[in-house]
Amino acid sequence: MAGFTKPCILLAASVFAVLALAGAAAQGVHDGRRRVMLEEIRESVRQTAAYLGKDHLDEAVMDALAKVPRHEFVPAGMRDLAYANRPLPIGAGQTISQPYIVALMTDLAAVGPSSRVLEIGTGSGYQAAVLAEIVDHVYTIEIIPELGKSAEETLRRLGYDNVTVRIGDGWQGWPEEAPFDAILVTAAPEVIPSPLLDQLRPGGRLVIPVGEKGGVQSLQVVTRDAEGRISRRDVLPVGFVPFTGPGADGKKAGGD
Residues with a known catalytic role: 97
Q: Phi first, then psi: what are they for 120, rounded to 5°? A: -105, 115
Q: Which of 62, 55, 72, 74 is nearest to 37 (CA)?
A: 62
Whether the CB-CB separation of 169 and 245 falls below 8 Å is answered with yes
Strand 88-91 relative to strand 94-96, pairing: antiparallel
- Which parts of the chain fold into alpha helices (H)? 2-47, 49-52, 59-67, 99-109, 126-132, 145-157, 194-198, 246-252
172 CB-near residues (< 8 Å, 6+ apart): 193, 195, 247
Task: Give the list of residues 6+ apart from residue 67 with CB closer than 8 angstroms, or none.
Answer: 133
How far is 122 from 104, CA to CA, in rounded Å? 17
> For residues 205 and 109, is the Cβ–Cβ distance under 8 A?
yes
Give bridge partners of residue 182 from the DSSP assignment: 117, 205
Q: Tell me the C-alpha to C-alpha distance, in Å, between residue 92 and each of 128, 152, 234.
A: 19, 16, 29
Give the three-class secondary structure for 87: coil
CB 180 within 8 A of CB 204: yes
